[in-house]
């Protein structure tokens, strides 16, 4: 039978060990908050003010109109107007511009004659994401230009138009997508590291042997070590949530309770994994590196920055093991989509399973590796 | 002689602990494979819902474009309500809605709007999806007009030329930057913990009691990790070039020089962290949060620096990984572009100077805080 007061005593000791050192206290609060602030502002896929150079060999008003549309867009900033072919290469190579827009000589003439006129876009492909996104913006501008041209000049064009609306994130702010993700990311990092290091630190300091001499059973030690990670994780979650809503204007359209249920289940899974690592690692170095080996794939495959749907099928199966994957759906679902418990059930139970399995495994490993 | 002994001790410690070797050689493999194959912004098989309220030839032709496209996985819905529910349940990513009077308006020359609703949670993917839908619409427009006997030329054609990475392959772009991540891990995280361990265990005091100078001691500690880091780098480069077919268009020597310089900076940072932290727990957390995560998010490796708020852009100037990532992307994909290479190398050299000075000041003190 488990002795609750003993477990609580162990938990209290864990907290003291964590918080006694001033550096330790600072490092649990300050860096995550700073990270949230910096990355919340930095991590964005929206391109703003992409430096563009324009090479306009045409004299007509149509080309000027098109250029005006490009420079008027918030996504682009025309930093240079070039007059000669050989100016292109240095600008792109040296990364002074991401894109060069080249309008041929007879652009306006072609348009008036009803012949296709060409616009050449030269892009720096070193960052393929930005290149693709910039291309997409340019295509949209061109699309509007073409459509206007057809509608005003041609009597025969079918007057079909696309009316696009975006749900949940009406203005398509990538910040609304990424900041909730950062919340999951930071919780994962802190909870995992705190738990992963807990046993290893004691092993290195020799105090683990002292723990073994106490009346505490292995399962009680496990629970006592799991609780601080859970509580700290919960506090961090609340802090990060408060900052996200207050500073980044992230909406909270859904059920807060549903979010917190997700937080608890997520932390359970993370703490379970952390304890598994902690039971295997003999030194703190091994514990941190082990945590790392779990962290990096967990972050990359979670859908934090790139969609799981785009991954190869085999890799998608792997993501089912990643608790962060489910948590991100929950956090984005509650914040942006207004989800409540019923819409999130499919995210809750996998995390519960991962938590139970990892905690049981940790307990089993604990007994094996104790001596 | 003393230096030699120090190096030997450190190397033995590395070899005895499998986790150090794992970081240098297994982590690159994990990272490269993850990013090389797992990460992609290129969407395909996007599940979309098509709602046609009044099925007929024209609307079927329109839906047909989506059926044939590799980008979409279309599903049909009879009414907008069920499509909306599917969007809510995350079964589809977008809805394309042709209303009752679509065909009649189309053929009578009136305005015939098509409503498109996209799930905007992932704004980037929403933009890309919208772009694909526009492309499909344009294709349909061409077919429709041709079928009517009226060829509809697209007025302005876009001719796209991508330099350095013609296929716009994510792999070519991400893999070089990963080398910076790997070296940050070895240089800053591993080293920070290793030196902090000596402080924590008290063996640092023992070392100070020996006749060795502080400088010799630090050099002896760092040289094996420098070698380990360069080993990790060479292994990553080999993987990148032979497994992932990333071209190395610049000179290998420049790559070596840049990597060595960056490694030294990373080591200096690791050392600084360990000196300030003095225990592994804090050192590890600080290294991950101030060295690894910035290298990941602020270096230009994944997110574009130009698009960040101006204040954050200034911050990236403080991050060594930023310069190294720029060097890597250029040396691999573009070649020896001297203005880029020299500026970034210069910046790294400056950072090395600054961090070395900081470490010097912090370690000169002795045993007390």
**Number of neighbouring beta carbons within 10 Å of residue B336:** 13
Surface of A (208-267) touching B: CB under 8 A = none
Domain count, chain B: 2
**Within a domain: A352:** yes
Contact A336 B289 (CB under 8 A): no
- Taking the Cβ of residue A169 and every Cβ of chain B, the question of whether any pair is shorter than 8 Å is answered with yes
Same domain as A33, residue A56: no
- Identify which of B369, B328, B368, B319 has the alpha carbon closest to the alpha carbon of residue B348: B319
Which DSSP letter does residue A21 get? S
**Within a domain: A158:** no
Same domain as A346, residue A201: yes
Q: Where are the beta strands (DSSP E) in A59-158?
A: 76-81, 99-103, 117-124
Q: What is the mean pLDDT of residues A271-299?
A: 87
Residue B276: alpha-carbon gap to chain centroid: 29
Domain that holds residue A143: 50-153
Same domain as B357, residue B212: yes
Same domain as A253, residue A137: no
- Identify which of B12, B197, B141, B170 has the alpha carbon closest to the alpha carbon of residue A132: B170
CATH code for position B114: 3.40.1710.10
- In Å, how far is A1's CA from the nearest CA of chain B? 33
Contact B19 A169 (CB under 8 A): no
- In Å, how far is A87's CA from the nearest CA of chain B? 15
- In Å, how far is B167's CA from the nearest CA of chain A? 9
Residue-wise pLDDT tens digits, B149-186: 766 666 777 777 888 877 777 778 888 888 888 888 88
Which DSSP letter does residue A171 get? T
To test the contact with chain B by mutation, choose from A160, A312, A333 the residue with the greatest count of B C-beta atoms within 10 A, namely: A160
Same domain as A318, residue A207: yes
* N-to-C CA span, chain B: 30
- Taking the Cβ of residue A127 and every Cβ of chain B, the question of whether any pair is shorter than 8 Å is answered with yes
**Within a domain: B28:** no
pTM for this one? 0.83
Tell me the Cα Rg of chain B. 28
**Within a domain: B185:** yes
**C-alpha to C-alpha distance for A141 and A119, rounded to whole angstroms:** 12
To test the contact with chain B by mutation, choose from A58, A156, A289 the residue with the greatest count of B C-beta atoms within 10 A, namely: A289
**C-alpha to C-alpha distance for A272 and B208, rounded to whole angstroms:** 41
Contact B307 A44 (CB under 8 A): yes
CATH code for position A91: 3.40.1710.10
Domain that holds residue B117: 46-147
Contacts of B220 (CB under 8 A, 6+ apart): B2, B3, B5, B6, B7, B9, B10, B212
Q: What is the ipTM of this complex?
A: 0.79
- The pLDDT value recorded for residue A205 is 79
- Taking the Cβ of residue A288 and every Cβ of chain B, the question of whether any pair is shorter than 8 Å is answered with yes
Same domain as A55, residue A33: no
- Taking the Cβ of residue A305 and every Cβ of chain B, the question of whether any pair is shorter than 8 Å is answered with yes
Answer whether residue A350 shows pLDDT above 90: yes
A154 pLDDT band, cuts 50/70/90, is low
Write a three-state SS string for chain B.
CHHHHHHHHHHHHHHHCHHHHHHHHHHHHHHHHHHHHHCCCCCCCEEEEEEECCCCHHHHHHHHHHHHCCCEEEEEECCHHHHHHHHHCCCCCEEEEECCCHHHHHHCCCCEEEEEEEECCCHHHHHHHHHHHHHHHHHHHHHHHHHCCCCCCCCEEEEEEEECCCCCCHHHHHHHHHHHHHHHHHHHHHHHHHHHHHHHHCHHHHHHHCCCCHHHHHHHHHHHHHHHHHHHHHHHHHHHHHCCCCCCCCCHHHHHHHHHHHHHHHHHHHHHHHHHHCCHHHHHHHHHHHHHHHHHHCCCCCCCHHHCCHHHHHHHCCCHHHHHHHHHHHHHHHCCCHHHHHHHHHHHHHHHHHHHHHHHHHHCCCCCC
Residues in chain B predicted with pLDDT less than 70, given as ranges, are 41, 150-154, 364-369
Which chain B residue is nearest to residue A199, measuring alpha carbons?
A: B281
Count of alpha carbons within 13 angstroms of residue A278, beta-carbon side:
30
> Poorest-confidence range of A14-18, A302-306, B206-210, B363-367?
B363-367
Contact A129 B279 (CB under 8 A): no
Q: Are A55 and A82 in contact (CB under 8 A)?
A: yes
Classify the C-alpha dihedral A308-A311-A313-A316 as positive or negative: negative
- In Å, how far is B13's CA from the nearest CA of chain A? 12
Contacts of B83 (CB under 8 A, 6+ apart): B49, B51, B77, B92, B95, B97
Q: Answer with the one of B117, B147, B177 that is the final residue of a domain.
A: B147
Contact A285 B156 (CB under 8 A): no
- The pLDDT value recorded for residue B369 is 44
Q: Are A194 and A226 in contact (CB under 8 A)?
A: no
Residue-wise pLDDT tens digits, A330-349: 999 998 888 888 888 889 99
**Within a domain: B3:** no
Q: Are A335 and A250 in contact (CB under 8 A)?
A: yes
- The pLDDT value recorded for residue B259 is 94
Residues of A in contact with B31 (CB under 8 A): 296
Same domain as B333, residue B191: yes
- The pLDDT value recorded for residue A48 is 78
Q: Are A44 and B309 in contact (CB under 8 A)?
A: no
């Amino acid at each position: 039978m488990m002795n609750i007061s003993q477990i609580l005593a162990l938990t209290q000791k864990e907290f003291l060990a964590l918080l006694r050192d001033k550096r330790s206290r600072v490092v649990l609060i300050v860096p995550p908050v700073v990270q949230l602030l910096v990355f919340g502002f930095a991590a964005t896929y929206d391109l703003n003010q992409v430096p563009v150079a324009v090479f306009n060999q045409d004299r007509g008003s149509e080309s000027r109109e098109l250029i005006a549309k490009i420079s008027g867009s918030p996504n682009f900033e025309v930093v240079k107007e070039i007059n000669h072919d050989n100016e292109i290469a240095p600008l792109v190579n040296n990364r002074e511009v991401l894109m060069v827009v080249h309008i041929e000589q007879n652009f306006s003439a072609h348009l008036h004659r009803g012949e296709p006129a060409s616009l050449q876009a030269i892009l720096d492909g070193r960052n393929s994401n930005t290149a693709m996104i910039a291309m997409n913006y340019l295509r949209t501008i061109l699309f509007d230009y073409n459509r206007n041209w057809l509608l005003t000049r041609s009597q025969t064009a079918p007057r079909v138009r696309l009316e696009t609306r975006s749900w949940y994130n009406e203005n398509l702010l990538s910040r609304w997508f990424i900041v909730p993700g950062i919340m999951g990311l930071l919780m994962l990092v802190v909870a995992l590291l705190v738990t992963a290091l807990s046993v290893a630190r004691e092993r290195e300091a020799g105090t683990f042997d002292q723990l073994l001499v106490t009346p505490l059973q292995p399962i009680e030690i496990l629970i006592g070590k799991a609780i601080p990670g859970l509580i700290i994780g919960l506090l961090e979650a609340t802090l990060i949530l408060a900052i996200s809503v207050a500073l980044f204007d992230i909406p909270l359209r859904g059920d807060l309770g549903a979010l917190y249920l997700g937080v608890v289940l997520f932390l359970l899974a993370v703490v379970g994994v952390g304890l598994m690592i902690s039971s295997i690692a003999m030194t703190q170095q091994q514990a941190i590196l082990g945590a790392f080996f779990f962290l990096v794939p967990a972050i990359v495959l979670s859908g934090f920055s790139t969609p799981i749907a785009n991954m190869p099928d085999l890799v998608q199966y792997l993501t089912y093991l990643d608790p962060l994957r489910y948590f991100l759906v929950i956090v984005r679902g509650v914040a942006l989509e207004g989800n409540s418990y019923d819409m999130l059930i499919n995210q809750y139970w996998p995390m519960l399973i991962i938590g139970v399995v990892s905690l049981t495994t940790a307990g089993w490993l604990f007994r094996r590796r104790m001596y | 002689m003393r230096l030699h002994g120090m190096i030997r001790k450190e190397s033995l410690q590395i070899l005895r602990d499998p986790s150090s070797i794992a970081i240098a050689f297994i982590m690159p493999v994990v990272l490269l494979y993850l990013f090389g194959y797992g990460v992609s912004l290129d969407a395909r098989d996007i599940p979309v819902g098509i709602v046609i309220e009044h099925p007929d030839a024209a609307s079927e032709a329109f839906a047909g474009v989506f059926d044939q496209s590799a980008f979409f996985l279309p599903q049909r819905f009879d009414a907008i309500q069920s499509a909306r529910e599917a969007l809510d349940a995350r079964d589809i990513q977008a809805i394309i809605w042709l209303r009752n009077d679509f065909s009649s308006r189309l053929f009578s020359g009136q305005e015939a709007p098509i409503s498109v609703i996209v799930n905007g949670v992932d704004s980037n993917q929403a933009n890309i999806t919208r772009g694909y839908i526009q492309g499909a619409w344009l294709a349909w427009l061409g077919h429709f007009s041709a079928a009517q006997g009226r060829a509809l030329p697209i007025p302005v054609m876009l001719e796209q030329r991508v330099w350095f990475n013609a296929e716009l392959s994510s792999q070519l772009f991400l893999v070089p930057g990963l080398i910076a991540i790997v070296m940050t891990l070895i240089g800053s995280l591993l080293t920070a913990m290793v030196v902090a361990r000596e402080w924590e265990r008290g063996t640092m005091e023992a070392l100070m009691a020996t006749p060795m100078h502080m400088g010799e001691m630090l050099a002896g500690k760092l040289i094996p990790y420098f070698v380990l880091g360069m080993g990790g780098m060479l292994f990553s480069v080999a993987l990148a070039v032979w497994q992932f077919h990333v071209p190395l268009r610049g000179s290998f020597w420049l790559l070596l020089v840049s990597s060595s310089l960056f490694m030294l900076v990373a080591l200096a940072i690791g050392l600084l962290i360990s000196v300030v932290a003095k225990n592994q727990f804090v050192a590890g957390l600080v290294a991950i949060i101030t060295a690894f995560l910035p290298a990941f998010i602020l270096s230009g490796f994944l997110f574009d620096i130009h698009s960040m708020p101006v204040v954050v852009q200034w911050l990236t100037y403080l991050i060594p990984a930023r310069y190294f990532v720029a060097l890597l992307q250029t040396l691999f994909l573009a070649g020896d572009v001297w203005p880029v290479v020299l500026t970034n190398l210069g910046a790294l050299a400056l950072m090395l100077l600054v961090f070395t000075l900081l470490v010097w000041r912090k370690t000169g003190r002795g045993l007390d805080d």
